[in-house]
Amino acid sequence: DGASEIEFDGVGKDGEIIAAAIHEHIENAGVHSGDATLVLPPQNLSAYTMHRVRDAAKKIVKRLNITGPVNIQFVAKGTDVMCIETNVRASRSFPFVSKTMGVDFIEAATRAMVDDSTADMDLPTLETRNRPSRYVGCKVPM
């Protein structure tokens, strides 16, 4: 009741995050992420909540030593932020994130998995703020 859902889509390489996007659900928590309306960059998350999501994502990717795509779902209410699901695969939001961020997360994940460089890709990191900067992407279920 009154909780929000937040998603992290990213790419790991040997347990380090090399590409990252955090987006929020418009609906309250409980709507399946495939049916949810998503916005990127987040519009209503506090700096504290964003910090908690970044920190948790970093720890999860490191602990699982992920190389390749990863989707982590969080629920937040007040100052509580909890991971509710981690998927070591490309989620349905990967194409939305790629288009909105202007970089191909699937290509980055593929390169990471075959140990090819991503240095030429201008990947958004956990430290990247307000990307995109001139618009807000919105994924609406059809």
- Radius of gyration for the chain, computed over Cα atoms and rounded to the nearest angstrom: 14
* Position 19 pLDDT exceeds 70: yes
pLDDT 10s digits, 41-51: 999 999 999 99
Q: Give the 3-state secondary structure of residue 83.
A: strand
* Position 34 pLDDT exceeds 70: no
Output the pTM of the full model.
0.92
| Amino acid identity, position 30 | G
Q: How far apart are CA 121 and CA 110, in angstroms?
A: 13
pLDDT 10s digits, 73-123: 999 998 899 999 999 998 888 999 999 999 999 999 999 999 999 999 999
The whole-number pLDDT of residue 88 equals 94
Q: How far apart are CA 41 and CA 37, in angstroms?
A: 13
